[in-house]
Amino acid sequence: MSKTSYATTCSYCGVGCGITISKEKDGKIRLQGTPDHPVNQGQLCSKGRNLNYVLENQSERLFFPQMRISKGHELRRVSWDTAIERTTATFAALIRRFGPDSVGFYVSGQCLTEEYYYINKLVKGFIGTNNLDTNSRLCMSSAVTAYTLALGEDLVPPTYEDLDQADTLLVAGANPAWCHPILWRRVEALKERHPETKIIVIDPRRTQTASLADLHISIIPGTDALLFQVLGKLLIDLNYSDSTFLQHHVEGFETFKNTLSGINLTQASAECGSDLETLIQVAHWIGKSKNFMSLWSMGLNQSPQGVHKNLQLLNLHLLTGQIGKEGSGPFSLTGQPNAMGGREVGGLSTLLAAHRKLSDPSAREEVARFWGVEKINGAPGLTATQMIESLNSGKLKALWIICTNPMVSLPDSGLTERALQKARFLVVQDISVKNEAISYADVVLPAAGWGEKEGTMTNSERRISHLSAFAKPPGEALPDLEILQKFALKMGFRSLECTHPEEVFLEHAALTEGTRIDISGLNYSILKKNRGIRWPYPKSNPVEAKGLFLNKKFAHPDGKARMITFVPQKEHEERSPDFPLILTTGRIRDQWHTMTRTGLVQKLQQHIPLPFLEIHPEDASSRGIKEGDVVWVKGRRGEIKSRAKLSLDIRQGVVFLPMHWGKILGNSFAKTNRLTGNSTDPNSFQPDFKFSAVEVQPF
Ligand code: SF4
């Protein structure tokens, strides 16, 4: 590689594609997929291919720290010293007066692992509150909880290579063809090599992913857990359960079997929107499969029953012994590039570093000792939506938002806006002027973005990759780690001084030693040389890991997995004559989250330039709506305008809105999350973005 080449990793989805950057003499940045990269073998999707334009177009970057003298005043440019001094003084005063739990930090699955680790240590170890949560709460916390309950720890068993060997693949509540495109190309290649591979897609929309499927089940939203239970009962009735595996490696099979015995299969299938024959066919495919894999993401996770849905899918793998062997297993896909890294460092308000439990006194003692602090508070901190509720009620006084745009991405955006408006003190640390929370910020801190800072991320298959810094941050923007360090040192936490991100990485790695995610053998040179390494990678045995549980020893103390039939769950939002339709939300192919980066790229705008409401022609016609009409979408929390896109690909009774757009054409036009609610899964606290009761009317 020449001196002007850099190896890095794509900063969008959880696939984790390798990118090679070359800097031309004229300063232009060119990029290509890294040909020998273990994840993408040179391929990139439209978003990754255009990342260089995001660096080139600096028109919407934050260049300087800004501050308001007080609420109601304009933001004014200030020096870093002034901004940090004000932030520190205000946080310190609030903590003195109201205690550490009066402040909160809301971070992102796009933060680098070093930033994630550092802020966890700062907040949980030194400030003394666990009010640190992440937008990954919105993405995969239901999967985290379900893996922990069923397998004993949040450990994702399969790898991407396992996909190459699958002969039956069930994709539920995910559209990887658009949201994890390079991973999906692997599945397309598999299908081409082995056309006999069975692909089943469960989704209320016939997506691009479904177009490759042998069978698409247009499920009635909210019935996923029941559908998996029907499949479970069919697998038992058709003698596909693996009794040897169940006897030696699983607890809870008899309860599972007894609970399912009362299910009326025909009726339950209909409740899910399927006929029984179709589900019998699926059961035969799974039962006869040599290697059965499942892929899922937000369609299962973002639900008041997210954990339950995950568990029932995991049960199908445990029932058939299709876990802990090559080519099989339940594979939850992370939406964000570093949702997995966040999990590793304990980046949720309910976790501690290296998957340690906050509720475990010995884990708290161990981490406190390692960090050199007296103790760690054992009470779980506020989750993402709880922080908003707490700000709104006045209990939480200050919030620091890093690398996320909650006024567009959190559910019930009306409530989020009211809460941020009420914050006594709000800090927004971001790269973009488009972060809507800036409207209410007291202090705005300009951060360096992708390519302007160094660190690591972990993708969906546990591969830790290094990201290079190859461009200068614009204006006075700084890497997030440096910003946090300025604050920590000003607060007087001298031991939080560090000189390089690798120092933080090595500390994080040392804290994993002896755990199931032990990466004590890793450093930046190894990561760079290998273009990423899958954990664990302990110094005692520095060999890249394959799939997990290949020895069939699960992480519960007795080594057995658990089939869990029921966990506490909430109902989905009730429909009524006023709000008879189910709104589900999601991504489109060429945009990322709230478009603060992809929205800058002309080429990416061409795919779908404007927001739309996908609606079945029967639902449209009964409301007098035609293709392209501007419509009102109304729910219990608000209403927005959109443009109708009539499609037979969506189930009747269900409508779909993309989640990306914030304020355009006036505030009321497109913000999808004005309609979604604040209901969360009682176990994972993940909000529901997939089932809101709405009505659609002509404008
Ligand atoms: Fe980036 Fe994901 Fe596309 Fe790969 S698949 S290039 S990681 S957005």
Q: Phi/psi at 447 (nearest 5 deg)?
A: -110, 155
Residue 140 has pLDDT above 90, yes or no: yes
Ligand 1 atom nearest the C-alpha of 181 is 5
Residues 6+ apart with CB under 8 A from 270: none
Residues 6+ apart with CB under 8 A from 576: 693
Q: Residues 567-587: pLDDT tens digits?
A: 889 999 999 999 999 999 999
The residues that bridge with 443 in the sheet, in sequence order, are 67, 427
Best residue for ligand 1 mutational test, from 8, 10, 465 (most atoms within 8 Å of Cβ): 10
Q: Give this complex's ipTM.
A: 1.00
Tell me, in angstroms, the distance from the centre of ligand 1 to residue 428's CA.
27
Q: Whose CA is nearest to atom 4 of ligand 1?
A: 17
Mean pLDDT of 55-67: 95
Residues 6+ apart with CB under 8 A from 492: none
Residues 588 and 657: beta-carbon distance below 8 Å = no
Q: Cis omega (within 30 of 0) on the bond before 536?
A: yes
Mean pLDDT of 50-71: 94
pLDDT-derived band at 669, boundaries 50, 70, 90: low
**CATH 3.40.228.10 for domain 141-332:** yes
Tell me, in angstroms, the distance from the centre of ligand 1 to residue 102's CA.
38
Share of the chain above pLDDT 90, in %: 92
Closest CA to 460 of 184, 66, 123: 184
Q: Is 221 left (phi over 0), alpha (psi -120 to 50) or beta?
A: beta
- pLDDT for 28 equals 85
| 577 C-beta neighbours (distance < 10 Å), count | 6
Closest CA to 680 of 585, 594, 566, 568: 568
Q: Residues 584-641: pLDDT tens digits?
A: 999 999 999 988 899 888 999 999 999 999 999 999 999 999 999 999 999 999 999 9
Residues 6+ apart with CB under 8 A from 315: 150, 228, 232, 256, 563, 564, 565
Q: Residues 545-574: pLDDT tens digits?
A: 899 999 999 999 999 999 999 888 999 999
Tell me, in angstroms, the distance from the centre of ligand 1 to residue 180's CA.
7
As for ligand 1, residues whose beta carbon falls within 6 Å of it are 10, 12-13, 15-17, 40, 44-45, 47-48, 180-182
pLDDT-derived band at 667, boundaries 50, 70, 90: low
Instruction: Output 671 or 107, whichever has higher pLDDT.
Output: 107
pLDDT-derived band at 1, boundaries 50, 70, 90: very low
Ligand 1 atom nearest the C-alpha of 592 is 8
Residues 128 and 353: beta-carbon distance below 8 Å = no
Q: Worst-scoring range by mean pLDDT, 476-485, 507-516, 587-596?
A: 587-596
Segment (H or E) for 293:
strand 292-296
Tell me, in angstroms, the distance from the centre of ligand 1 to residue 48's CA.
5
Q: How are strands ordered across the β-sheet holding 168-172?
A: 215-217, 198-202, 168-172, 292-296, 329-332
Q: Whose CA is nearest to atom 2 of ligand 1?
A: 13
Tell me, in angstroms, the distance from the centre of ligand 1 to residue 385's CA.
28
Pairing of strands 692-698, 630-635: antiparallel
Residues 6+ apart with CB under 8 A from 534: 159, 461, 462, 463, 464, 544, 545, 546
Ligand 1 atom nearest the C-alpha of 12 is 8
- pLDDT for 666 equals 53
Best residue for ligand 1 mutational test, from 20, 179, 180 (most atoms within 8 Å of Cβ): 180
Tell me, in angstroms, the distance from the centre of ligand 1 to residue 339's CA.
14
Mean pLDDT of 368-374: 98
Best residue for ligand 1 mutational test, from 19, 39, 45, 593 (most atoms within 8 Å of Cβ): 45
**CATH 2.40.40.20 for domain 581-698:** yes
Fold of 66-133+339-524: Rossmann fold (3.40.50)
The string over 343-355, giving b where at least 16 C-beta atoms fall within 10 Å of a residue's C-beta and e elsewhere, is bbbbbbbbbbbbb
The residues that bridge with 330 in the sheet, in sequence order, are 294
List the domain boundaries for the chain. 5-56, 66-133+339-524, 141-332, 581-698
Residue 3 has pLDDT above 70, yes or no: no
Mean pLDDT of 390-401: 98
Number of alpha carbons in the 13 Å side-chain half-sphere of residue 221: 32
Tell me, in angstroms, the distance from the centre of ligand 1 to residue 14's CA.
7
Q: Is 395 exposed, middle or buried (0-12, 13-18, 19+ CB in 10 A)?
A: middle
Ligand 1 atom nearest the C-alpha of 49 is 6
Tokens of 678: 């604040």
Q: Residues 427-437: pLDDT tens digits?
A: 999 999 999 99
Tell me, in angstroms, the distance from the centre of ligand 1 to residue 203's CA.
22
- pLDDT for 27 equals 78
Tell me, in angstroms, the distance from the centre of ligand 1 to residue 255's CA.
42
What is the distance between the alpha carbons of residues 334 and 313, in angstroms, rounded to a whole number? 17
Tokens of 212: 């490759």
What is the distance between the alpha carbons of residues 290 and 168, in angstroms, rounded to a whole number? 8
- pLDDT for 661 equals 86
Ligand 1 atom nearest the C-alpha of 9 is 7
Ligand 1 atom nearest the C-alpha of 33 is 6
State the angle between helix axes of 224-237 and 306-320 in degrees (0 to 180), rounded to the nearest 10: 20
Q: Whose CA is nearest to atom 3 of ligand 1?
A: 45
Best residue for ligand 1 mutational test, from 13, 37, 110, 587 (most atoms within 8 Å of Cβ): 13
CATH code that applies to domain 5-56: 2.20.25.90
What is the distance between the alpha carbons of residues 564 and 554, in angstroms, rounded to a whole number? 15
Residues 332 and 297: beta-carbon distance below 8 Å = yes
Tell me, in angstroms, the distance from the centre of ligand 1 to residue 113's CA.
18
Tell me, in angstroms, the distance from the centre of ligand 1 to residue 616's CA.
30
What is the distance between the alpha carbons of residues 61 and 597, in angstroms, rounded to a whole number? 10
